[in-house]
Structure 1
Amino acid sequence: MPEGLAFDEFASSRAQRLFQTAYLMCGDYHQAQDLVQTALSRLYPVWGRLTRREDLVSLDAYARKVLLNCYISHRRLRRSGEVAVADLPDRPGPGEDRGAALRITLLDALSRLPPRNRAAVVLRYLEDYSLEEVADAMDTTVSAVKSLSFRSLTTLRQILGPERAALLQD
């Protein structure tokens, strides 16, 4: 099978999952699309080397690692131009879907975390990766992931406040 075709199959079969992870990390639909495209464009030139040495699980892990690095690089470049916006309303308005309001509140709270903290929470709790997978994707140790996750969840609880933090337990 030609290398280009194998990459096309890999990219098309993994793009949606990578997009979901990117969206949870950045909270913006278009930026998530850009992050996935950037990650895939960084994978393509080294695809031949990767497929000779790696199994499919390792390719997925490598793709997540590249996506995470793209997200952190993007945040680093954008940091100087960020401007704070007003807080979102505490409760959904009349007729609003409570689930949608909760998702918006969670995305807002996640956006207040530093990029590495946010990535740890997204990968560990929202994407349900093991501690070892998160540590591998973030180039760190399992104990560092545990510590980062604990601190990040504590910060999220403080951001959300006791009433909204209780919603996370349901």
Structure 2
Amino acid sequence: MTSTDESFAEFVRARSPALLKTSFLLCAGDRGAAEDLLQDVLERMFCRWRRIAGPPEPYARKALANAAANRWRTRSRRVTEAPLDDVLGPSEPGHEEGVIARAELVRALAALPPKMRTVIVLRFFEDYTEEQTALALGCGKGTVKSQTSRGLTRLRELISPDASELLEERR
């Protein structure tokens, strides 16, 4: 293995778990889609590894956000999948409240429009500033502010008080 290959492998080992969390949230809780999205982004990054200027993690996060947006655009032209959540009924009791609140939060994130969801994920789960979020999405700071405000309002409407507390902790 070359030193370039080793440095990329080390980056993947060290940062994949954190990048998978971001991908999971961008994919509205679909673990399979999140893994596919991350794999696609890492594959593209490997081809460009020597040319990536600066730290690779911000590059990876921006690539995830862009790739997720591209998937939403192309998916909206295709037949959508039918979730089995309604068919299977409610989950079994006994799960820790935090797990339930997180699951509810992920479902609420899935109900947001893609750009709004991306803004919320970058701002509150990746701790991006407004400026970093605007730069990552290629939009203005005002757009980030309005999408954040509308997104938080919509999330509060969609989630229970327990999950709302979890959201407030992330702030």
Give the TM-score of the pair, scaled to structure 1.
Answer: 0.82
Alignment of 1:1-170 (within 5 A): 2-26=3-27, 27-50=29-52, 54-56=53-55, 59-79=56-76, 80-82=78-80, 83=82, 86=86, 94-160=93-159, 163=161, 166-167=164-165, 168-169=167-168
Could you tell me which runs of 5 or more consecutive residues in structure 2 were left unpaired when the two chains were aligned. none
Percent identity (aligned): 35
Counterpart residue type for residue 135 of structure 1: A
Q: Which runs of 4 or more aligned residues in structure 1 lie more than 4 Å from their structure 2 counterparts after TM superposition?
A: 163-166
What displacement does 1:164 show? Answer: 5.5
What displacement does 1:3 show? Answer: 2.2
The Cα offsets for residues 134-165 of structure 1, whole Å up to 9 and x where unpaired, read as 1121112222211111111122122236x467
Could you tell me which runs of 5 or more consecutive residues in structure 1 were left unpaired when the two chains were aligned. none
Q: How many residues align?
A: 162
8 Å contact 1:25–1:118 — kept in the other structure? yes
8 Å contact 1:42–1:66 — kept in the other structure? no
Q: 1:31 to 1:165 in 2, by over 3 A?
A: closer
Cα distance between partner residues in 1 of 2:31 and 2:122: 18
What displacement does 1:39 show? Answer: 0.5
